[in-house]
Structure 1
Amino acid sequence: MNETRKPRRPDVTAVELVGGVETLTLDLHDYDDRWAGIFREHRGRIRDALEAMDVGIEHIGSTSVPGLAAKPIIDIVVVVDDITAEEDYLDPLLAVGYELRVREPGHRLVRTPARDVHVHILERHDPAVDEYLLLRDRLRSDAADRALYESTKRTLLSERWDDMNDYADAKTDVILSIKARARESLGQ
């Protein structure tokens, strides 16, 4: 059953990049077993900060896939009921030391001051959450797709990227093909 909810207020309509454009340095590191522990530490920190809320917290991105080389940035997705109710989740996350980096329609991003943990806040039932988990789970379970993804990232990182979004966009075709195989294997 699809829940209908009414947001407290209209969502933002533009992208706000707090702090402006930053210098981009991209490099891959071999998988580090410590990444899972860093995620668990931040999951606890987030859970404690948002204890009054019903939230989902998942480790996503390349650091969530054992054996996959990655940029050493832990990506976490936090699922909330109402993205417009920032006072419920944003204020508590800022209070425990995260900093707001991005506010855009349907998505907020906070991160550590060291920029080594990115927390993506999305609304419950946002299809992006399922897409993140589909890719993560496929990369965790399929060695060939994991190798393809890592090879693609290594090839792309041999080029110069002035914008992280351009680098992310360049991976799109490979990501779509991996997710298509994941859906096929799940009978979707």
Structure 2
Amino acid sequence: MEKYGAGSIVVIDYDPNWPTLFAQERARIAQALGVFALAVEHVGSTAVPGLPSKPIIDLLVGVQSLEEAKRRCVEPIEALGYIYVPEYAAWIPGELFFRKGPPGPWTHHLHVMEPSHPRWEALVVFRDYLRAHPEAARAYADIKRTLAASSNDNIGAYRNGKTAFVEETTAKARAWRAATRDR
């Protein structure tokens, strides 16, 4: 069982300060990485106004080359207080994963990948769809709260419990985006 670093998983009501916390961290990351950061996106539930979430800001950082990022970006990101978690590469290949905060609760997750990676598009389109479809965001909130209550500190069970909804919604989101582009 993969334990959650902060004890029990808690999903809290949306905090209107989350976009500000993201903007502050985006500026720090952009300054630390300079030209290596092609883009810095706010993803995950804290990026969707009104959506309850674990209070962790997820940042998605685009880089030209993941191999170059391994050599040149880990140290500057760690200097900002992040912890590089290389063992997550087995779970999320094609990505460098960092977390920040006391050893639980974590306050930030940082995902570094090439924007051409399929996960980049999936994270962004899922976020955009939830922002545009409040009924989907409400359904996701219900799932997250139920899973947080039943998973206790088993983050794997929490994450796996969301998989079907995330996959189905991402498929809807891709169709939605294609339809809105065609207009």
Q: Residues 89-108 of structure 1 correspond to what in structure 2 (within 5 A)?
A: 89-103=73-87, 104=89, 105-108=93-96
Q: Which runs of 4+ in 1 moved over 6 A?
A: none
Between the aligned partners of 1:157 and 1:173, the Cα distance in structure 2 is 16
Of residues 26, 32, 41 in structure 1, which corresponds to 2:9?
26
Q: Is 1:138 the counterpart of 2:138 in the alignment? A: no
1:72 corresponds in structure 2 to 55
Secondary structure of 1:153's partner?
A: helix
Letter in 2 for 1:113: G
Higher mean displacement: 169-178 or 132-141: 169-178
Letter in 2 for 1:31: Y
1:165 corresponds in structure 2 to 156
Between the aligned partners of 1:94 and 1:54, the Cα distance in structure 2 is 15
Contact 1:98–1:110 (8 Å) recurs in 2: yes
Offset at residue 159 of structure 1 (A): 0.7
Contact 1:24–1:164 (8 Å) recurs in 2: no
Identity in percent: 31
Offset at residue 98 of structure 1 (A): 1.7
Between the aligned partners of 1:90 and 1:106, the Cα distance in structure 2 is 15
2:147 corresponds in structure 1 to 156
Contact 2:45–2:51 (8 Å) recurs in 1: yes
Of residues 94, 101, 108 in structure 2, which corresponds to 1:117?
108
CA offsets, 1:23-55, max 9 Å, x none? 642111111110000000000000000113242
1:60 corresponds in structure 2 to 43
Between the aligned partners of 1:139 and 1:44, the Cα distance in structure 2 is 25
Contact 1:110–1:120 (8 Å) recurs in 2: yes
Unaligned runs of 5+ in 2: none
TM-score between both structures, scaled by the size of structure 2? 0.84
CA offsets, 1:3-32, max 9 Å, x none? xxxxxxxxxxxxxxxxx9846421111111
Offset at residue 160 of structure 1 (A): 2.6
Q: Which has the higher helix share?
A: 2
Of residues 4, 17, 37 in structure 1, which corresponds to 2:20?
37
RMSD over equivalenced CA pairs, Å: 2.1
Letter in 1 for 2:156: N
Contact 2:37–2:61 (8 Å) recurs in 1: no
Between the aligned partners of 1:52 and 1:111, the Cα distance in structure 2 is 22
Q: Is 1:184 the counterpart of 2:175 in the alignment? A: yes
Contact 2:46–2:53 (8 Å) recurs in 1: yes
Unaligned runs of 5+ in 1: 1-19
- Decide which structure has the larger Cα Rg and report it: 1
Letter in 1 for 2:96: R
Between the aligned partners of 1:66 and 1:82, the Cα distance in structure 2 is 32
1:12 corresponds in structure 2 to none
TM-score between both structures, scaled by the size of structure 1? 0.82
